């Protein structure tokens, strides 16, 4: 990669080298169980073209939402790739509307 795409390598390699430590820190950070969250999950996100990885990724998101069902919502972005906001802009707009409604009702 360093020879074929040096600019990309300068960006991606440090990210991948830090990935394990970054995930350890992310996983150690508590997330409020009362913070309202809409977890929008791409149909093929997280695993690329590998079905087992995609299934694992989606299962992790479902577990996250299940840990606080009163405040978290799972939204399945069917037909979307990684860039849900580009592939399904109406879904994003609706999620924003829902969140605004939740916050306004909570006041």
45 and 65 housed in the same domain: yes
Residue whose entry in the numeric block shows the structure tokens 């309202």? 36
9 and 42 housed in the same domain: no
63 and 102 housed in the same domain: yes
37 and 23 housed in the same domain: no
Q: Give per-residue pLDDT as tens, 6-33.
A: 888 899 999 999 999 999 999 899 999 9
pLDDT of the residue at 43: 83
Residue 79 falls in which region: left (phi positive, over 0), alpha (psi -120 to 50) or beta: left
23 and 50 housed in the same domain: no
Q: Please report the DSSP string for 19-39 in residue order.
A: HHHHHHHHHHS---SSS-EEE
- How far, in Å, CA of 16 to CA of 11, rounded? 9
pTM, 2 dp: 0.77
Domain that holds residue 78: 32-106
101 and 58 housed in the same domain: yes
Q: Give per-residue pLDDT as tens, 44-86.
A: 755 566 888 888 888 999 999 999 999 999 999 999 988 999 9
Provide the token pair at 32: 């409020």
How many structural domains are present in the chain?
2
25 and 43 housed in the same domain: no
38 and 69 housed in the same domain: yes
67 and 100 housed in the same domain: yes
């Amino acid at each position: 990669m360093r020879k074929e795409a040096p600019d990309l390598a300068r960006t991606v390699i440090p990210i991948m080298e830090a990935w394990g430590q970054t995930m350890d820190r992310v996983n150690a950070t508590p997330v409020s169980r009362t913070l309202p969250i809409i977890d929008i999950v791409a149909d093929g996100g997280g695993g690329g073209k590998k079905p087992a990885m995609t299934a694992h990724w989606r299962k992790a998101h479902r577990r996250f939402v299940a840990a606080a069902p009163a405040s978290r919502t799972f939204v399945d972005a069917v037909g979307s790739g990684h860039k849900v906001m580009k592939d399904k802009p109406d879904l994003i707009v609706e999620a924003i509307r829902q969140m605004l409604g939740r916050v306004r009702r909570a006041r």
